[in-house]
Each structure stands twice: as C-alpha cells, then as structure tokens.
Amino acid sequence: MKKCRWLLSLLWLFLSNVATAQNYSKVKGSVLTEAGNVLSGVTVTVTEPGIKKQVAATYTDDKGLFTLTQLSADRKYDFAFSYVGYETGFIRGYLVAAGENNSMLYRMKLSDAATSQEVVVTALGIKREEKSIGYAAQTIKQNAVTDAKTNNWVNALSGKVAGLNIQGAGAGPVGSSRITLRGESSLILDNNQALIVLDGVPVSRKITGINAGNNDMGVDFGSSVSDINPDDIEKITVLKGPGATALYGSRAAGGALIITTKSGLKGTKGVGITVNSNVSFEQVNRWPDYQFEYGEGRTDAYYSYGDSPDGVNTSKAAAAGRAWGPKFNGQLYYQYDPNTPDNLPTAATPWVPYKNYIKDFFKTGVTYSNTVTADANSESGAVRLSVTHLKNQFILPNGGFERINAALSVQQKVTNRFRISGKVNYTHKTSDNLPIAGYNNHTSMYFFILGTAPNIRPEWFMPRWVPGQEGIVQRKPFNPGPENPYVTFYDMINTIDKNGVIGSLSATYDFTDKLQFMLRSGLDLSHEFRTERFPYGMTSNPRGRYREQNIFSYESNTDALLSYSLGLGRKFSYKISGGANIMKTMYNFSGIYADNLAQPNIYQISNSADQPVADPVRSEKQINSLYGFGQLSYVDMIFLDVTGRNDWSSTLPVHNNSFFYPSVSTSVLLNELLSLPSFLSYVKLRGAWAQVGNDAGTYQTDKYYNRVLTNSFGNPAVLYNKDLKPEIRSSYEFGLDLRMFKNRLGLDIAVYADRSKNQILAVPLDPTSGYSSALLNAGLIQSKGVEISLNGRAVVKKNFSWNSIITWSTNRSYVKELAEGITNHVLYNYVDVVTIEARIGERMGNMYGRGFQRSPEGEIIYSSDGLPATVDPVIRKMGNAFADWRAGWLNEFNIHSFRISIQFDGQMGGSMFSHTNHKLNTLGKTKVTLPGRDEGIVGEGVVFDQVAGKYVPNTQRVSAMSYYDRYYALNNVETNIFNASYLKLREVRLEYTLPRKWISRIGMQQVHIAVYGRELFNITNFPAFDPDGGTLNNGSLTPGVEITQFPTTRNLGLNLTFKF
C-alpha cells in the first residue's frame, strides 16, 4: 500500500513538472461595442505573429466574456475579433505573461454595411447603437457642409434634416444664422435656438453687434459657431427633441447639434497628408423688379439739375431719390455734369436710363480657402493637425474678412484600460471692414433705396469728398440725406480682431471590463477687439465718432461620469451611469465711445471733443448638475432608457434654484420579434417622454443698477423677481423606422407634442411704478409636429448608383395661456408698424398690423380725393412669421469616377414683411408702379356717398405718384407683407476622382476635382431679395421681417483635394 502511494506521488510530481515545463498561461477578455454594450458570440482567434498560424479560438459568452488557455507565457500573439455587422479588429503583439492575470478589453466598431446598427453620438458625447435609441436623431456626414462651401458652414445644413430650420441674417459676409429644431416653444425667441456642442463642449451662438438705431440691423460680427472650420468636422448628429437632449437639462429645450471633429487616420498605420484648396465666386442672384422707363423727379416738377432754362432745381428738393420724373424718350434736359467744377450743366443732354445704376455698385465677391492636414495612426493612438486660411472679399467694395483655423486632435491608448483624448480648435478672425446693414443713413442699402435713381451713374459719386475738404465734406450731388455710398464703403469702418479657442481633454479608465470612469473638461474662450469710426460730415454725426469695444467671454464645462454594464442571464443586459457637471460662464463687454471728434481723420479715444463715454457690461453664471441614466436591453431587441438630471442654477433664487429634468425612452425591433414579410428588412418602433428647461437670464432675480452715463447709475427698467423659475418643456414623441427591400428603401416618421410652461414674461407696468415691465413666470405654449424622412437607393449597378433623400416637416405652436389679465405678448415690434405676437388661443408667431379700411363687402375704401383712405385704426392679423411646412430633396449619382449631387429645398407658407418693398414702391422705382404713370389712376374700390348714404364706386383719377405713395405706405402692412413660400435649387456639385493608376506614380493616394454651385435659383413671389431670412437685432435674429437686407448671392466654386 505504501509502495502504491509512493508511485502515485511520483506520478503527480512528474505531471506537475511537465505542466511547469510547458509554462501555459490564461488570458481573459471582454468584448464591447463602442457604446459600451456587451457582444456575445464574437469569434476570438489567436495567431502567432508573422507566420499567421492559428493557435487558439473561442467565442464570447452572453456577458461578452471569453477565456483562452494553453497560451505560452512570455510570447506575443495577435488577437482577432470578428462579428457580423462589425469591422474585424485586432490587438497585435500582445505579450502573454505567466499566470492567470492576463486580461484585455476590445471595443468593436460597426462596419459601413451595418446600416441598421449605425452608431449615434448622443447627449454628453455618449455613443449608442442607433437601434437602441428611442428618440429621433439624424447623423449627417462632413460632405453635407463641405460639398458647396459657404462662409458659415451652418447655412449648408438647410434642407438636409427634417425639422431643422436655418434662417440667414442677410447682414454681411460672415452670414450669421438662426438655428431652430421643431419650431418655437419659448416666448423669448432667442431661447428657441438649438444648443451647439463641439466635441463635448457647448459653443456660444451669441451674435454681438454694434447697433446704430431702431431701424438698424447693425454689424454681423459672427459667433463662435460660425467660426468653426467645416473641414475639421467629421459628422454632425442632430438631436431633435427633449427626449434626446434631456441630459443637458436647462439648456436643452431647443434640441442640439452634436459636432464630432476628425481624429486622425482610420485603418492601416501610417501618416497621411491632405491638401484642400477652394475658391468660390459670388454674385447677386436676385434683384427687385426695377423699372427703367421713368427717371428722377416728381409728377409736379420737370427735371433740372440746378436752376436752368428747364426750370428750378428738382434734384435736391423733395424729388431727390424719387423716380416719378419724366419718361425716358431721349429728350434733352439740363442734367448733372461731372466734368464741370460745380457740376452744373452747360448744355442739355439726352434723358436716358442707366440700367445698372444699382448693380454697378456691387462686384463679384471671392472667397479663397486652403487647408493642409496631417494625420497619423498607430495601434495605440492617432493624431491629426490641420491649418486653414480663408479670405473673403465681399460683394461691396472694401468689405470682407480673413480667418485662420488650426485644429489639433490627439487620441492615445496608454494601456489596455486607460485612454486619453485631447482636441483643441483655434480661430483668428480679422476684418478691416465689415459693412453696416439695415435701414438708416449709415448703410449702403439705405443709399441704394433713397440716394439714387435710374438716370444716375455710380461714378458720379466719385470722388467721394469735395476737393480740398477731404474727410470733412462729402460729395452729395443729389439727395442730401443718405451718405455718399463710397464714404460708407471706405470711411465708415468696422474692424474686428478675434481670437477664439474651443478645446476639450478627456480621460477614460476601465477599472474592470464592466466598470468605466470618464473625466472630461472643455472650454470655449474668445476675445474680440472691435473699432468703429465715422468721419466728419456724417448726417447724424457731423463731427464724426470713434468707438472701441473689448469683449471677453468664456464657458467651461467639467464632467465626471462613472458607468457600469453587465449582462443578466442570457437575455438581459444593462448599463447604468452617474455623473456630475460644473458649468461656468463669464461675459465681459467693455466699450468706450468718443462721439464727437476734436480733429477730423484722427481716430483715437484721446481725440474726443467731449468726455468719452464708458459702457461696461459684465455677467457671470454657474450651473452645478448631477445626472444619471440607465439602459436596459432584452435579447438585443427591446431597449429601455431612463435619464435624470438635476440643475442648481446661480441665476435663480437660492430657495428656488433646483430643478429636475427626467426622460424615458424605448425602442422595439419588430423585425427581430415577429415574423414579418420578407421585404421588411428593419422595423423599429420608438417612443420618448422628457422634461427639459430654459434657464433664466442673469441678474433677473434681484435689484441691480443700470449704468446711465459714465460713473452714473439708475434703477433698472424691468422689475426683478425673486421667485423666478426656468421654463419647463414637456415632450412626447413617437416614431417608426422602416427599412425595406434589403435596406434599399428607408422611411422614418416622427410625431411629437410639447407643452412649455413657466414662460418668462416681461409684463407691462404703469410707468408711475418706476418700472416699464415686470418679470414673472406665466403662460403655456403647446406645440405639435410631424417629421418624415424618405431615403432610397433607387439604382445600384456596377458603375452607376442613384441615392435619394426626401425630408418634410411641419410644426404648429399655439399660445394657450399668458399671465393673468394679459391676452397678448409682443415678441418683436418694428417701429409700431408690424408686430410678432403671442395671443391666447392663436398660433405662435402671428403678425399684426394695419391695412386698408374696407366696406362691409370687403372693398377698399377711398377718400374723396381719390386716394385710399388712411389705414384702418383696427390692428388685425396679417400673417405668421413661421412656415406651414418645409421640405428638401437631395439626390446623389455615382457614375464611374464621377459623383453628382443636386439638392432642392423650400417652404410653403409663412409671411415676411418687407421694408424694401415699401420704400421702392413709394419712390416709384419698381415696375409695379408703372401703370397709370401718364394717364393717372382710378383706384379700384368704393367711396362713401354722403348724400346717398352708401358706398359707390370710386371714380376720382389721381397721379400715380400720389396713389402709390398712399397705397404702399409704411403703416399699410397689408400691401407690404407677402407669402414667404419659396423653392430653391440649393446645391449642385460635380466631382471627378482621378484613377489611382494615374496618380500612384507621383506618391498620391487620391485626387478629387469638383465644381459646385449654391443658391442657383429661387422661385418665390417675395418682391425683395430672399424670404428665407430675418432681421439681425443685436444678438438675435428675428424671422418674418426684412429691413433692407443685403442681396442674396449665388456661389460658383472650384474645389481640389489631394491626399498623399
């Protein structure tokens, strides 16, 4: 017995020595998606480096885990991970240590073919599989904003996303825009704009301008959003509703655009160089319908420049700038003579029109853009550096801007469990002159309307100064009101020098395969120095002026997020996360103004004839937040998400500064659960409910004094409210995502309904109270809408394909409640002529004004003098500032090495009030004013017969000038408001990719040559320039009102791309 035991012991020792000699080790691992969800059934293959000999293979279990044994210690192996719908990935050269403590984590990326499982970047930059989200989100790739480049990349999004509305300001070369999703839910119009997030950093969309008067659009200096370089953008995820943005809390009511910038090469290791060069030319694409049959003057005065045998001077009197003068028949008149010392005529010359009397002031604008990018990739990281220089020359002389963008991105896997990422975007924007827009005598557009006529040539305003009095007395040969246009171009200067940085740094650590921690900090910082100078001799500033502004702003965001994911058995998996955010903002505006200069042509504050006026503004804000969210999945077919965020805001009173914003969403893959017809490739139902908010502005809850003069302060005009709350928006959303015929045809439908309460209202007060208005929470707005996206691969052949996308959306917002005793709230008021209002029981954005007096039968009432009666004193609804629906249609054709893309988009309904229409028509400068010029006009309508006691047809004939002056009067909104429907050919691009065999010999990988056009035509009944815009009012862009905007332009461009 003892002998047997001894033999067994010897055998055990022998086997142990053999095992030790083999020195095998164990490797454990976990496989997740990029979004952090477990993947079961992934094939894990192990090979020896170099010889590709397979050593071992296994599969991940229902928790995404795998274990491999029999791997020799102190040797390197290549691990391959493959799974249907995902890119095959590798961990190469993994050194297996002795023992059982070897572990690894691999995150798989979706393949391009896995269209039904696209990764979506959601709130807080969290990546999710598209099938798992229960709300509407749409991802658009970089080419959407670079195929037809614009000075502001935002404008390139028009018509590409259902529910997204982009409205331009028409205020200069920078091209600022208003960005809204799903209509209007707040009575503060600027609060309806979408949140913009760049690589996890919220970006300021604030547009600050210099305003010169009530009718002024000011100067469009742009914003941090417009300064983003489109060549650095990789993709943009549009989160349309509160269900998608609830994790942003009090900043999320308007939806969000989540921008991801490029991070370096993908795929094989190496270094790549890309050079992109672009040039575009822009010309005015649409003019008012000018008339060229009658020249300057009035009906009651024939033409003469100065006193002459023709009569007295009619050019500098009330006739100046009007086109009610004689008909162009080649007759002889004593006209302006630029060749005489006093410009008085010595002989009569033919009376003829000059049809380019407006157009010749404009030129072809040019924008040059050059980008150089270097990126590299290794097994453990990637780096990308890009530099872009953009130079714009505006369509008016001496206008434009330059911009330099530099972007650096670094991604590094320090260990298998620790990753860091850093991105920084730097912008330097300068301009020697940005034009003033709007309707006042400081602007060139004011001159084009009032200061010239069809018989006047642009060169007659040169030289712009009276000889010997340069910089003091302007040459104004005709209308003395508007400034000389060349003075507005070359002497009324608005400069900017801006530096901006947007950056983020994040670190992620995987404690285990299931537990992950992320820390991220981001900053949006900018400094601007601006100057404004007016010379002597200005109508409103006879002694000129000089102003300086320093603007410093920043926003910092720091997030910490802890996430835990696990499978529950073979069918359930979940992920829970909790985090915190600290947001701080600071805005510091410092202006100093010298509004009377002691000496001409010296633009310094020290040259002020009076005490300079200081204008400081400073504000700070902080929001502390805690948030959490959970994701539950059942057999990867049914998904449930719950989120919650609590904000503590410094702008709210201490006893009332905490608010909770929850959301719940779900999605169900019916094609996985049910047996459906074979043509249905993918069917997803989704639903979401959420509450988000709009925070109060700074310094609205306590008494703060306003600066009145330098070192002088007074009470604020608005009464503060110690109990102010944020606006709350509750939203319900349901959606259906269908993909049919093997993903050849896709249909996405979203239906939503919102309730926005606690609206922040400025309610008017009795002036004897010392305040003009008081802030309070009141009101309820209900919104509903539908969004539809239809996409299809209509043709798929070897050398030809046709892809098409159609988007359509509609939204209605109704005012259900306001404050007690208040039935209407004015959102915007243009000189007491037209207002945009919120009235109880009516649609948000209705426009109100006065119109014709009408008889009981609806006929226009005329006075006894034969002119339309003065406008009806009763204010009535004239239209609505927002469209009934919008649509877009994008087509892309690939033919061999050619790619052709064509985009149409437009809107139906909506209204636009046009100040330009009013002025041009009352001055007789459009074709609509031609009828009745010679014979007079008998207006169609009725006059009240006092004897008969009833209305009878009008028979009184009046001059055309008198008739149209009354008919298109400014306060007659009825004749100056128009349907804002339009259809645009928004973009066309033709691109050719050179064959690889042509370019490989010279070390190139790709060469693309493209030509493109943008805003090529616009079909609309709007008589001015573009109904797809609004009015820039300092930091806000108001839709529905056009105040002599700059003309819209068509762009034609050439783009070259070289990849090495």
Q: Could you read off the pLDDT of 117-146 as tens digits, one per residue? A: 577 888 888 888 888 899 999 999 888 999
- Of the two residues 944 and 11, the one the predictor is more confident about is 944
pLDDT, mean over the chain: 88
The superfamily CATH assigns to domain 195-285+364-442+492-845+881-910+980-1059 is: TonB-dependent receptor, beta-barrel domain (2.40.170.20)
Q: Which residues have C-beta within 8 Å of that of residue 990, sequence separation ≥ 6?
A: 898, 899, 900, 1010, 1011, 1012
- Render pLDDT for 517-571 as a digit per residue (tens, 0 to 9): 999 999 999 999 999 999 999 988 899 999 999 999 999 999 999 999 887 767 8
SS3 per-residue string spanning 694-742: ECCCCCCCCCCCEEEECCEEECCCEECCCCCCCEEEEEEEEEEEEEECC
Task: State the maximum Cα–Cα separation within the chain, in Å, rounded to a whole number.
Answer: 148
pLDDT at 266 over 90: no
Q: Are 122 and 239 in contact (CB under 8 A)?
A: yes
Query: What pLDDT does 372 receive?
Result: 97
- Neighbouring CB atoms inside 10 A of 586's CB total 15
How far lies 908's CA from each of 108, 765, 818, 1027, in Å?
45, 39, 29, 11
Q: How confident is residue 321, by pLDDT bands cut at 50, 70 and 90?
A: confident
pLDDT at 11 over 50: no
Helix (H) or strand (E) holding 490: helix 485-490
Alpha-carbon distance of 264 to 141, in angstroms, equals 16
Q: How confident is residue 41, by pLDDT bands cut at 50, 70 and 90?
A: confident
Query: What pLDDT does 208 receive?
Result: 64
Q: How confident is residue 718, by pLDDT bands cut at 50, 70 and 90?
A: confident
Q: Which residues have C-beta within 8 Å of that of residue 515, sequence separation ≥ 6?
A: 562, 563, 564
- Render pLDDT for 608-621 as a digit per residue (tens, 0 to 9): 999 999 888 889 99
Domain-wise residue ranges, the chain? 24-108, 195-285+364-442+492-845+881-910+980-1059
Q: What is the pTM of this model?
A: 0.85
Average pLDDT of 678-688?
Answer: 93
280-289 burial code (b ≥16 CB/10 A, e <16):
bebebbbebe
Query: Closest Cα partner for 1041 from 170, 288, 450, 194?
Result: 170
β-pair type (436-438, 515-534): unpaired
Query: What pLDDT does 1000 receive?
Result: 80
Query: Closest Cα partner for 96 from 162, 46, 37, 135?
Result: 46
pLDDT at 13 over 90: no
Helix (H) or strand (E) holding 12: helix 2-22
pLDDT at 710 over 70: no
Percent of the chain predicted with pLDDT > 70: 92
Query: What pLDDT does 4 receive?
Result: 44
pLDDT at 411 over 60: yes
Q: Are 325 and 292 in contact (CB under 8 A)?
A: no
Average pLDDT of 839-853?
Answer: 96
Alpha-carbon distance of 382 to 412, in angstroms, equals 6
Alpha-carbon distance of 488 to 486, in angstroms, equals 5
Whether residue 463 has a cis bond before it, omega within 30° of 0: yes
pLDDT at 116 over 50: no
Query: Closest Cα partner for 89 from 103, 74, 78, 77?
Result: 78
Query: What pLDDT does 213 receive?
Result: 41
Query: What pLDDT does 1034 receive?
Result: 64
- Of the two residues 443 and 983, the one the predictor is more confident about is 983
Query: What pLDDT does 342 receive?
Result: 84
DSSP state of 200: T
Q: Are 439 and 495 in contact (CB under 8 A)?
A: no
Q: How confident is residue 317, by pLDDT bands cut at 50, 70 and 90?
A: low
**Angle, CA of 285, 287 and 290, to the nearest 5°:** 155
- Render pLDDT for 479-522 as a digit per residue (tens, 0 to 9): 888 999 999 999 999 999 999 999 999 999 999 888 999 999 99
**Class of 24-108 in CATH:** mainly beta
Average pLDDT of 751-755?
Answer: 96
Query: What pLDDT does 23 receive?
Result: 66
Q: Which pair of structure tokens corresponds to residue 214?
A: 């009530």
Residues linked to residue 931 through DSSP beta bridges, in sequence order: none
- Of the two residues 569 and 781, the one the predictor is more confident about is 781
At residue 671, what are phi and psi to the nearest 5 degrees? Answer: -70, -20
- Render pLDDT for 949-983 as a digit per residue (tens, 0 to 9): 999 999 999 999 999 999 999 999 999 999 999 99
pLDDT at 210 over 80: no
Residues linked to residue 433 through DSSP beta bridges, in sequence order: 400
pLDDT at 268 over 80: no
The SS3 assignment for 1048 reads coil
Q: Are 397 and 464 in contact (CB under 8 A)?
A: no
Q: Are 232 and 276 in contact (CB under 8 A)?
A: no
Domain pair 24-108 / 195-285+364-442+492-845+881-910+980-1059, same fold: no
Q: How confident is residue 111, by pLDDT bands cut at 50, 70 and 90?
A: low
Burial class (CB in 10 A: 0-12, 13-18, 19+), 261: buried
Query: What pLDDT does 664 receive?
Result: 96
Query: What pLDDT does 1021 receive?
Result: 95
**Ramachandran bin of 447, using left for φ above 0, alpha for ψ from -120 to 50, beta for the remaining angles:** alpha
How far lies 691's CA from each of 646, 727, 756, in Å?
11, 10, 9
Q: Are 124 and 522 in contact (CB under 8 A)?
A: no
Query: What pLDDT does 212 receive?
Result: 42
What is the radius of gyration, based on Cα positions, of the chain?
Answer: 34
Average pLDDT of 178-192?
Answer: 90
Residues linked to residue 875 through DSSP beta bridges, in sequence order: none
β-pair type (773-777, 718-719): parallel
DSSP string, 754-783: EEEES-EEEEE--GGGT-SEEEEE--EEEE
Alpha-carbon distance of 307 to 342, in angstroms, equals 13
